[in-house]
A and B are shown apart, each in its own frame.
Chain A
Amino acid sequence: MSRLAATFEALAKTGRKALIPFITAGDPHPNFTVAMMHAMVEAGVDVIELGVPFSDPVADGPVIQRASERALAHKMSLKRTMDIASEFRQTNQQTPVVLMGYLNPIEAMSYEGFANAAQRADIDGVLTVDLPPEEAKECCDLLKARGIDTIFLLAPNSSDERIKKMDEVGSGYLYYVSLKGVTGAGHLNSVDVENKLQQIKQHTRLPVAIGFGVKDAETAKTIGNIGDGVVVGSALISKIEAHLDQPELAKNEIVALLTAMRLALDSLSAL
């Protein structure tokens, strides 16, 4: 069983929800990321989504765009992102790491080269924003053969047919983008999210993590009550951005926010 599957299974047994932070590798500096990952695990996260910086992140709002730009200014790359994951893995064998990014860096490395490198770095899952299932088979098969999960997105306008397709090709978990827009945008409508989750759950047994628009413990709790996990990204990166010269302070604030989210989520299973 993959590390992701095992993680979600263990959570389900105790009725707990997955807390999944997203940070961009190398932001604000490559030396910062591994320590940040360990600190987030200490704060109680279950899976880490590690953003691979890309020059043209079309699905991201300004906060994550700027994180990408800061990381790229330090010559961050897909290869160096995997180096970071690998370093993290030396002292943490439990927490799944999912790479989240865009296709072109993978194309530049070649699918097979990427799959091999991801295996060496002990990556657990790959989420490629601009790689829909119709174009994903070759890459997906190479990853699957190496025991790496492929995570796909679902959106508010995804049809039943589309959800079934993601259930077929996806593994690990599905990532539900809770609103139409880019990362960090807008406000959640929990009734809409709840209705959509009911529709999604009719067609898949994969765990569903929900992201986009999760800002604080309260929204995390609302969303956690609906799905199997909560993804938080821009709210964390805003902390990094607020303290660019003091990464330790940013780390403390991120840990505080994640701890509050963890408590809020665990209060659901205690009910």
Chain B
Amino acid sequence: MTEKYNMPDERGHFGPYGGIFVAETLIPAVQELNAAYQRYMHDPEFIAEMDADLQHYVGRPSPLYHAERWSNELGGAQIYLKREDLNHTGSHKINNTVGQALLAKRMGKTRIIAETGAGQHGVATATVAARLGLECVVYMGSVDVARQSLNVYRMKLLGATVIAVESGSKTLKDALNEALRDWVTNVDNTFYIIGTVAGPHPYPAMVRDFQAIIGREARQQCLEQTGRLPDALVACVGGGSNAIGLFHPFINDASVKMYGVEAAGDGVETGRHSAPLSAGRPGVLHGNRTYLMSDDDGEIIETHSISAGLDYPGVGPEHAWLKDTGRAQYPNITDNEALEGFHALTLMEGIIPALESSHAMAYTMKLAPTMRKDQIIIINLSGRGDKDMQTMAKREGIEL
């Protein structure tokens, strides 16, 4: 890419992707949000308040850690982990919820709603809502409520109301549907904190901007520690917020390869997966045009992944654009491979990753050995694995 990257356009398009595809009642709401976002992202006072929260409340900057033992074991590139798992609440999700909650406060909204899959975004939202004294309602598919019960309990402790969604596949997409229905009904006093880089404009750009602190820090830390830029970035992609957060500040660095790792579930060839960029087609869902898992009639297909956070039939429109332009690549990793990645990092480095992030670990196990020892990979370790203990134990036949 020779020209400086400057996406999206003013109506939220990343090439043919993105845009605003919502019912008329939400148009004034997204317009109001966009005006506030455009205003405050350039407001020094807002930025200063957000930066202070990110430093003192979230614990930023997160470390960039050289996983030396694991790198030697794999025998190829040097692996660095961007430690988003060390953030307050245990994942990258809080970078975005801090930003959006401050925006909600500026806009005078008194009620926060959110959707969640793995529960990390729900917890991060309930956390900031508690701190700011805002009412908080979190929608979560009932399948996810069952497999992420620890996070459900955390949200309730934080004062949030968790609503189990029983419609459709009872996972993340259905939670998003229900949150949109709530928003359309309570649009006057309610701010919808979307957790990923999807939804109608300005969400994909706004969430990216709040998450881009990951990549800005990683870029600076890599230069400080190694004197050079990384050769490759690896991050898991469900909706794609942790990946775009890492990738975006490197987009103009042509030498840096980007790998967004989708969840292949039982294997893309089985049809039981959550990999729209690998095996989906463009379409419109949840307010934007992007790659989707949909059938020939345009109905959304149920998705499968061991990780609730990746169990989503769409993907952020910017990833769709980065795929089409070839700037980023989107390989996929099966459930079983992700488990290998989970165990490898845990045993080699004493760090237990989230199952979502484990997809990025597993892909790195394939990628690193193909690279030279003087080359550098940065992986976004987007969340910690504590929430997945029950899922892991069940999968491996262990009673806790």
Which of B25, B168, B286 interacts with A155 by CB under 8 Å?
B25
Chain A to chain B contacts (Cβ below 8 Å), 30 pairs = A54-B299, A58-B23, A58-B177, A72-B299, A77-B299, A78-B298, A103-B284, A104-B284, A106-B298, A107-B282, A107-B284, A108-B294, A108-B296, A108-B297, A130-B284, A131-B21, A132-B20, A135-B19, A135-B21, A155-B23, A155-B25, A155-B28, A156-B25, A157-B25, A158-B28, A162-B24, A180-B184, A180-B187, A181-B25, A181-B181
Q: For residues 1 through 59 of chain B, which have their beta carbon under 8 Å from a beta carbon of chain A?
A: 11, 19-25, 27-29
Asked if A154 and B285 make an inter-chain contact with CB atoms under 8 angstroms apart, the answer reads no
Residues from chain B with Cβ under 8 Å of A58 in the complex: 23, 177, 180-181, 286
A134 at the interface (CB under 8 A from B): yes
Asked if B25 and A104 make an inter-chain contact with CB atoms under 8 angstroms apart, the answer reads no
Residues from chain B with Cβ under 8 Å of A134 in the complex: 11, 19-20
Residues from chain B with Cβ under 8 Å of A132 in the complex: 20-22, 24, 27
Which of A61, A78, A103, A157 interacts with B21 by CB under 8 Å?
A103
- With both beta carbons as reference points, the residue of chain B lying nearest to A76 in the complex is identified as B297
B173 at the interface (CB under 8 A from A): yes
Which one of B19, B282, B284 has the greatest number of beta carbons of chain A within 10 Å? B284
Residues from chain A with Cβ under 8 Å of B11 in the complex: 134
Residues from chain A with Cβ under 8 Å of B188 in the complex: 180
B300 at the interface (CB under 8 A from A): yes
- With both beta carbons as reference points, the residue of chain B lying nearest to A130 in the complex is identified as B21
Give bound CA distance, A85 to B24, whole Å: 26
Knowing A56-B285, A105-B298, A108-B297, the reply to whether A181 touches B185 (Cβ < 8 A) is yes
A212 → chain B, closest Cβ, in Å? Answer: 10
B59 → chain A, closest Cβ, in Å? Answer: 36
Give bound CA distance, A103 to B20, whole Å: 12
Residues from chain B with Cβ under 8 Å of A61 in the complex: 181
Give bound CA distance, A241 to B347, whole Å: 55
Give bound CA distance, A103 to B282, whole Å: 12
Give bound CA distance, A94 to B297, whole Å: 29
3 closest Cβ contacts across the A-B interface? A108-B298, A105-B298, A77-B297
Residues from chain B with Cβ under 8 Å of A54 in the complex: 298-299
B61 at the interface (CB under 8 A from A): no
B292 at the interface (CB under 8 A from A): yes
Residues from chain B with Cβ under 8 Å of A152 in the complex: 24
Q: For residues 283 through 342 of chain B, which have their beta carbon under 8 Å from a beta carbon of chain A?
A: 283-287, 289, 292, 294-300
Q: For residues 222 through 267 of chain B, which have their beta carbon under 8 Å from a beta carbon of chain A?
A: none
Give bound CA distance, A208 to B19, whole Å: 28
Residues from chain B with Cβ under 8 Å of A131 in the complex: 21
A150 at the interface (CB under 8 A from B): no
A11 → chain B, closest Cβ, in Å? Answer: 24
A39 at the interface (CB under 8 A from B): no
Which one of B19, B24, B181, B292 has the greatest number of beta carbons of chain A within 10 Å? B24
A146 at the interface (CB under 8 A from B): no
A197 at the interface (CB under 8 A from B): no
Cβ contacts B162-177/A at 8 Å (1 or 0 each): 0000011000011001
Knowing A78-B298, A180-B184, the reply to whether A107 touches B27 (Cβ < 8 A) is no
- With both beta carbons as reference points, the residue of chain B lying nearest to A185 in the complex is identified as B185
Point out residues on B near A: beta carbons under 8 Å. Answer: 11, 19-25, 27-29, 167-168, 173-174, 177, 180-181, 184-188, 281-287, 289, 292, 294-300
Knowing A104-B300, A185-B185, the reply to whether A153 touches B23 (Cβ < 8 A) is yes
Asked if A55 and B24 make an inter-chain contact with CB atoms under 8 angstroms apart, the answer reads no
A129 at the interface (CB under 8 A from B): yes
Residues from chain A with Cβ under 8 Å of B173 in the complex: 56
B313 → chain A, closest Cβ, in Å? Answer: 9
Residues from chain B with Cβ under 8 Å of A109 in the complex: 298
Give bound CA distance, A185 to B284, whole Å: 25
Cβ contacts A30-61/B at 8 Å (1 or 0 each): 00000000000000000000000011111101
Asked if A56 and B184 make an inter-chain contact with CB atoms under 8 angstroms apart, the answer reads no
Residues from chain A with Cβ under 8 Å of B174 in the complex: 56
Asked if B283 and A108 make an inter-chain contact with CB atoms under 8 angstroms apart, the answer reads yes
Residues from chain B with Cβ under 8 Å of A180 in the complex: 25, 184-188
Give bound CA distance, A62 to B21, whole Å: 21
Give bound CA distance, A177 to B177, whole Å: 19
Residues from chain B with Cβ under 8 Å of A29 in the complex: none
Residues from chain A with Cβ under 8 Å of B22 in the complex: 130, 132
Knowing A56-B173, A159-B28, A185-B185, the reply to whether A105 touches B23 (Cβ < 8 A) is no
Known: A107-B289, A132-B21, A162-B27. 7 other contacts (CB 8 A): A107-B298, A108-B281, A108-B298, A130-B23, A132-B20, A155-B23, A158-B28
Residues from chain A with Cβ under 8 Å of B186 in the complex: 180
B317 → chain A, closest Cβ, in Å? Answer: 13
Cβ contacts A155-178/B at 8 Å (1 or 0 each): 111110010000000000000010
A188 at the interface (CB under 8 A from B): no
Give bound CA distance, A135 to B24, whole Å: 12
Give bound CA distance, A180 to B296, whole Å: 33
